[in-house]
Amino acid sequence: MNKIYTSTRNKNIKCSPKEAILKGIAEDGGLYVYDGLDQLQLPLADMMNMSYTQMAETVLSLLLPDFSEEEVKQCVQDAYENRFDSKDITPLHVVNDTPILELFHGPTCAFKDVGLRMLPQLMSKAITSLNQQDVMILTATSGDTGKAALEGFKDVKHTAITVFYPNDGVSNIQRLQMVTTTGANTKVCAIHGNFDDAQTNVKKIFQNQELKNHLAKHNIVLSSANSINIGRLIPQVVYYIFAYKEMVQQKQIAFGEEINFCVPTGNYGNVLAGYYAKCMGLPVKRFLVASNENNVLCDFLKDGIYDCRRPFYKTISPSMDILISSNLERLLYYKSGKDDGYIQKLMNELEIKGSYKVSEEIKKSIQDDFYGGYCTDEECKETIRKVYMEKGYVLDPHTAVGYKVMEEYHKQDDTPCVLLSTASPYKFTTAVMEAIFNETYTNDFDCMDALAKKTNTNVPKSLSMLKEANILHHDVIHKENMIEYVENGVKEMFHD
């Protein structure tokens, strides 16, 4: 029943939405996609009068039809009610003619909350209705995902979560956000090593058959909170429609008129959610894909060649420091006319050679919907300064990358464009204070206070609270001991 999701690399692998959410990734390494996506139609006119949560219910019901109406309602309520510091969840502010959709009003002050508040709710329902398994979530993080996943899964029934982060590889604020997490089902552990060490070892744990067999005896499975899970992607479709509604209500456009969206991009998850909304009937002309100096996507969108054999830069927009954008695979699937064999071939080439080239026809079709631009750290800082001076609005570095690309693109197309703001400037205060006021701080909290004072804005409570919060997670281990750590975590958290 309801086997409507298939692997991008093999259409014979089929599963229901609930199974796809529980598994995260298909057994052949492909990503789960809704084959009939282009046949779905949003009730757009009706949606113009809906609240964010009503919209979320509508979108989830369409894309996850094996969830009952009651289940969807409860998931939406548990994910969003009283969890965001804006009643709109993702408010749209028109700042001197520039519409900015603020996606950072959730518990961790970055857009990942929108997906990661919802994924655990969906997973919990899937567990109950499939076979009562318990799920242990394993995540390696370089910063933002870890905390958003911890907040999302904390105290969710039938789940527990273990997050590994590189001891010297995250910012002080990011570390504090993670190690102060409460909840009886959360574990946070630093490892001696870098992010790749953490990531590689988490992948090894997922492949360890002995551990999986042992866990299976206790009816426990491993899963991940990675952005390739459809349960993280689908909730993000909602805010594109919400932004459109706000554009109409705030008299920026007439109903039915096309708009553009500019999206600061790393793994292609966020912008792909927008494309889903377009496939389902949202009037969007184009998506502007904004990258930092790791501009592999920008090159791809120009010449159709994806080539990640290039230097990796650490930038002031670290959440976009990515060379392999996993979710692009889903776009290629749809744009190739759902040719699973072709996707399999491209992904093999990427793994073996580090690059692939798409056909001229596919390239053109992608370019109809997407434009790629990028921005250097210098330009990013200049943009943060300029926008503050001209408009009194404080951008975080990721959003500033988007702003710069949007401004550049505007010269060739004056379609109204909504800029997605992916993080609160208070999450990256040091870079922001330096950009606007040329001041450097050694203490993050002093820096936050200074930004608040000078710009007459408020430090988000969840960040200012960190100064006083108790440190609850102290573990630091060698990477060789990660598997043992997970085994002990399972015993501890599921009481087996």
Which residues of this chain interact with ligand PLP, rule CB under 6 A?
A: 110-112, 144, 227, 264-270, 319-320, 398, 422-423
Closer residue to ligand PLP in complex, CB, 76/423:
423
Q: How far is the CB of 374 from ligand PLP (least distance, A)?
A: 13
Q: Which among 227, 282, 233, 235 is positioned nearest to 53, based on CA atoms?
A: 235
Smallest distance from the beta carbon of 324 to ligand PLP, in angstroms?
A: 11
Our CB check for ligand PLP shows the closer of 403 and 485 to be 403
Q: Which is nearer to ligand PLP, 198 or 215 (CB)?
A: 198
Residue closer to ligand PLP (CB basis): 6 or 270: 270
- Best CA proximity match to 399, nearest among 440, 433, 427: 427
Q: Give the up-direction half-sphere exposure of residue 411: CA atoms within 13 A in the CB hemisphere.
A: 4
What are residue 334's phi and psi, to 5 degrees? -65, -40
**H-state helical runs in 48-141:** 52-63, 69-80, 112-130
Q: What values do phi and psi take at 466, rounded to 5?
A: -60, -25
Tally of CB atoms within 10 A around 217: 8
Question: Would you say 120 or 269 has its CB closer to ligand PLP?
Answer: 269
Select 102 or 134, whichever has its Cβ closest to ligand PLP.
102
Q: For ligand PLP, give the closer residue by CB, 161 or 423.
A: 423
- CB 248 → ligand PLP: shortest distance, Å? 26
Q: Give least dist CB 111 to ligand PLP, A.
A: 6
Nearest to 241 by CA among 62, 65, 56: 56
Can you name the residues that pair with 98 across neighbouring β-strands?
Answer: 95
Residue length of the chain: 496
Q: Are strands 370-374 and 284-291 parallel, antiparallel or unpaired?
A: parallel
Looking at the Cβ atoms of 106 and 489, the one nearer to ligand PLP is 106
CB of 95 to ligand PLP, least distance (A): 18
Decide whether 124 or 315 has the Cβ nearer to ligand PLP: 315
Q: Please, what is the minimum distance in Å from the beta carbon of residue 308 to ligand PLP? A: 15
Q: How many CA atoms lie within 13 A of 371 on its CB side?
A: 19
Give least dist CB 39 to ligand PLP, A. Answer: 25
317 closest CA partner among 389, 414, 395: 395
Nearer to ligand PLP, 409 or 494 (CB): 409
Query: Half-sphere exposure (CA, 13 Å, Cβ side) for 88?
Result: 15
Within 10 A of 58 (CB to CB), how many other CB atoms are there?
18
Query: Phi, psi at residue 460, to the nearest 5°?
Result: -60, 140
How near is the Cβ of 79 to ligand PLP at its closest, in Å? 18
> How far apart, in whole angstroms, are the C-alpha atoms of residue 306 and residue 287?
18
User: What would the two tokens of residue 228 be?
Assistant: 């390739």
Report in angstroms how near the CB of residue 407 gets to ligand PLP at its nearest: 18
- CA torsion, ordered 46, 47, 53, 56, to nearest 10 deg: 110
Smallest gap, in angstroms, from Cβ of residue 181 to ligand PLP? 17
Strand locations in 400-456 (E): 417-421
Min dist CB 422 to ligand PLP, Å, is: 3
Calculate ∠ Cα 36-243-258, nearest 5°: 70
Closer by beta carbon to ligand PLP, 110 or else 126: 110
Nearest to ligand PLP of 111, 153 (CB atom): 111
Q: Is 259 helix (H, G, I), strand (E, B) or coil?
A: strand
Got the DSSP string for 339-390? -HHHHHHHHHHHHHHSEEE--HHHHHHHHHHEEEEE--HHHHHHHHHHHHHH
CB of 106 to ligand PLP, least distance (A): 11
